[in-house]
Amino acid sequence: MTIYLVYLVFFTSSIIWGVSPALISRYGEKVSETAFTAVRSLFGVTGLIFVFFFIQFTSTSISLNGLVIVFISAILGPLIGPIMYIKTIKLIGGGNAVTISYLYIFFAQIFSTIFTGEKPLLYLYIGSMIALLGIYYVYVGEQRVVSGKGLIYGLITALSWGMASTILKIALGEGDPLSIALLRNLFTLLLLLPLTFKEWREIFRDKGVLFTVSFTGVLGLGIGMWLFIIAIEKISILSTVLITSITPILTRILSTHIAHEKHLEKHT
């Protein structure tokens, strides 16, 4: 897979992640964050199993050490991160939530430099500053008041995703992107299933919620995350997380039309 193709497929993934917070903002109020995350992981596993059998059935593998590393990544990434993210969305809206949570770009760059030895080039520093300024510009365009609790949840999300992204880079030394993406969702599902199963009926009976968990599960936590891991493997953490800075801008636009969140006209 060429570098340009990696950028293209991950750009597509960023678009998917831009839609997800808007859908969650509109339909996620009716169920708990843990149940929502559990069922999203179920759909993430389902989507990746199809990929597993039809695309890379013979080229997947992971070591025992890799299983431990992926488990830790699952705790931080698809478990703690999404639960905190959904809490943030419920409290302060999708536009604000994605803006604060995507400070993970900054944390991922710090952690990757410390723990994986990646050395950011000048253009990445410049790109990061532009991205952070863009995120701030989106943030100040929101009319919704940001609660202190929502801000804390958003920062926890950012820290969790930043560290999880770094751990993914380490995990790639022990396994392939598809196996890692599948196992992360599977671990999350198994951990949350006993705690949330009684709430699943409510999710599957509501068409709006069901569409949201299936879309954000299959395409967001599943295929989107697989593409994210491929990008980390091919072009580094630093470049990959920088690409995702377009997501808050997309969410800002989409949350207006999907979740009917208000914003200042000068930021449209």
Residue that wins the pLDDT comparison between 143 and 117: 117
Which tokens sit at 265? 């006209």
User: Could you read off the pLDDT of 17-58 as tens digits, one per residue?
Assistant: 888 888 888 888 888 999 999 999 999 999 999 888 877 555
Which pTM value belongs to this model? 0.84
Residue 3 has pLDDT above 70, yes or no: no
* Buried residues in 239-254 as b, exposed as e (16+ CB within 10 A): bbbbbbbbbbbbbbbb
- What pLDDT, on a 0 to 100 scale, did the predictor assign at position 18? 80
User: Could you read off the pLDDT of 53-111 as tens digits, one per residue?
Assistant: 877 555 667 888 999 999 999 999 999 999 999 998 888 887 778 878 888 888 888 88
Q: Which value, in Å, is the radius of gyration of the alpha carbons in the chain?
A: 17
Closest among 14, 4, 16, 61 to 216, alpha carbons compared: 16
How many secondary structure helices (H) and strands (E) does the chain include?
13, 0
| 102 close to 135: Cβ distance less than 8 angstroms | yes
Question: Using CA atoms, how far apart are residues 6 and 227, in angstroms rounded to an integer?
Answer: 8
Residue that wins the pLDDT comparison between 42 and 149: 42
For the chain, helix, strand, coil in percent to 5 are: 85, 0, 15
